[in-house]
Amino acid sequence: MRPKRGAPALPGVSALSWLVADARKGEVLAAHDAHRPLPPASTLKTLFAVTALPRLPKDGEHTATEAELDDVGEGSSEVGIVAGDSYTVEDLWNGVFLSSGNDAVHALAEMNGGWDTTVKQMRLKAKLLGAYDTHVVSPDGYDADGQVSSAFDLAVFGRTGLASREFVKYSSTVDAEFPGYGGTFGIVNTNRLLTGEDGVEPYRGLIGVKNGFTSEAGYTLIAAARRGGRTLVVTVMNPQWGGVHEVYEEARDLLDWGFKAAGRVTPVGSLEPPPPPLPPRPPMKDGPVPGPLARVLAPAAAPVQARKPVAAPARPARAAEDEREESGSGFVMPVAFIASACLAALALFFVRRAARRKPESHDA
């Protein structure tokens, strides 16, 4: 943090990694070890959502299969999908955001082209967003060797999701009906800071986003809230003291601090993505390239093989005029020819005139 005069003091936070940012501007107001790679647990579902939501039809349906459900990790949180039953895309996204259902992620990933395809898409999306600390192995956030993210990257995913109406709708939904048991049953969002469940006081202005827990990751949370025209996004990864609700209380303290610190701290970073890569250069067309671009765009010249010098044939000594005629001067030869013809005609004129005058001279 870079405080200005009157800036509030930071709260005590035990999380291994955390971050507070202005969601609209992308300015990071304060952070601690924000690029530390840590297991993200179900907060990684935010990256899954910003990757797959735009790709799947809103009114699509999917019939679950035994194969996709068999791949759900042991001990995973599930919404209760049954093989052979059909679900709408909206049902499945409610299962992802509210129940943190890994079975719902598997069903949506199958609709998205398969598990491996979805992993590749998520990895690419993370890079495009500048989330270089993240390595995706399991899109549902289930603990897997090498799977990590960071407080910075999770804030990037949360901020990206806030730009999508669908994402905000699902992440801020408190409860919904889910198909099953011959009808429907109720499901409730597991984000206690949103619902106020289990004695956690709900946070005023909370938009939601996503919470998570695994044995390796501990408790993780991405929380976004809006107050007074400002939207903040906070990430908290693995608090080291307190109970099972400590992650919510530390997020609450950081959100409170962020709203009080408006305009009183200098940003220490930005969540803005890097500029997009330049488009590929178009192939060169035949013909010269006008202007100075010719030197820049011209392909490298092919190597020229050395050749033995060939002696030029001896040239006969000739007058300079002959050389100019041979060089292609089309003006010298016609003028000389015309001049010669004129002189010849003039000489003939004087000869004939002299011939006519001789008799006259003789008579005189």
Q: Are 97 and 77 in contact (CB under 8 A)?
A: no
Q: Please pick, among 17, 45, 149, 210, the residue that the annotation labels catalytic.
A: 45
DSSP helix/strand/coil, 340: helix
Place of tokens 């910003």: 50
Answer for the pair 115, 4: CB distance below 8 angstroms, yes or no.
no
Distance CA 236, CA 31 (A): 10
Backbone phi and psi for residue 21, each to the nearest 5 degrees, phi listed first: -145, 155
Using alpha carbons, list the distances in angstroms from residue 248 to 131, 150, 324.
Answer: 24, 18, 97
102, 142 contact by CB (below 8 A): yes
Containing H/E element for 206? strand 206-214
Strand partners, 86: 63
Could you give the CA distance from residue 171 to residue 118 in angstroms, rounded to a whole number?
A: 21
**172 given a catalytic annotation:** no
Q: Note whether 38 and 237 are within 8 A (CB).
A: yes
Which of the 8 DSSP states describes residue 318?
Answer: -
Distance CA 136, CA 52 (A): 14
The sign of the CA dihedral 235, 241, 245, 251 is: negative
Choice among 100, 138, 150, 171 that is catalytic: 100
Q: Assess contact for 131 and 272: CB atoms under 8 A.
A: no
**Is 100 noted as a catalytic residue in this protein?**
yes
Known catalytic residue at 215: no
The answer to whether the beta carbons of residues 247 and 236 sit under 8 Å apart is yes
Nearest to 91 by CA among 208, 177, 181: 177
Whether 135 contacts 146, CB under 8 Å = yes
Which strand (E) or helix (H) includes residue 27? strand 27-32
For the annotated catalytic residues, the residue numbers are 42, 45, 100
